[in-house]
Amino acid sequence: MKKTTKLIAIALFAATTLLSACKKEEEKPATKPVEEVMTAKFEDDGLGSSGGSNNYVMVFRAGNAGKITHLGARTGAGTYNLALIDSSSLAVLRTASVTVTDSTKFSYSDIEDIDIAVNKTYYLSMHIPAGKKILYYFMDTEEFPVTFNNFTFYNTLYMGSTDAGDISNEYGYYSDSFVGIPGFIFVEK
């Protein structure tokens, strides 16, 4: 009887150890970096009209490795195309179509997760057709670059284009404003 009890105890211990070793690593909580920095450092300047068919491109980098799981937008009602672009190769990494119904909050579309490298610059481009309402948020006391939590935001570019993945025709940039506004959901590794 004692041998059976010992064998059962050893078997249970081995099974518990094996199961705990096989446990999936817990994923860190998702963050919404653009929403977070907008709340902390920017002021709402309201909706305006896009003068032409333009891309509004957020330039950013992460201080920690992770992945982007969703692309999103906060702007006037409508459906918008977004593209996440590698700044070095200008390759389009992911695209999404996002429908916005309420300009007071972000809407997101799920994408195939994309790994984000530490201190690598990325472009997040959002195409806004001519005549659509676009949202402006500005910093009252700072200019880009601005670092908040894990991210540094360098500026917002604007370009004449009809394709969110085309960032070849730069018109200029905003030194203190988010325009558009594209966003994303990030999970740190």
Q: What is the SS3 assignment for the chain?
A: CHHHHHHHHHHHHHHHHHHHHCCCCCCCCEECHHHHHHHHHCEEEEEEECCCCEEEEEEEEECCCEEEEEEEECCCCEEEEEEEEECCCCCEEEEEEEEECCCCCCEEEEEEEEEECECCEEEEEEEECCCCEEEEEECCCCCCCEEECCEEEEEEEEEECCCCCCCCCEEEEECCEEEECEEEEEEEC
Mean pLDDT in the chain? 86
Tell me the whole-structure pTM to 2 decimals: 0.83
Mean pLDDT for 37-66 is 89
Q: What is the pLDDT of residues 63-102, one digit of tens each?
A: 999 999 999 999 999 999 999 999 999 999 999 999 999 9
pLDDT of 169 over the 70 cut:
yes
pLDDT at 19: 44
pLDDT at 6: 55
pLDDT bin (cut points 50, 70, 90) of residue 1 is low
pLDDT at 67: 98
pLDDT bin (cut points 50, 70, 90) of residue 4 is low
Instruction: Identify the CATH class of 30-188.
Output: mainly beta
Mean pLDDT for 177-188 is 93
Which one has a higher pLDDT value, 134 or 122? 122
Mean pLDDT for 27-54 is 87
Which one has a higher pLDDT value, 11 or 155? 155
Query: So where are the chain's domains?
Result: 30-188
pLDDT at 23: 44
Q: What is the pLDDT of residues 20-32, one digit of tens each?
A: 444 455 668 999 9
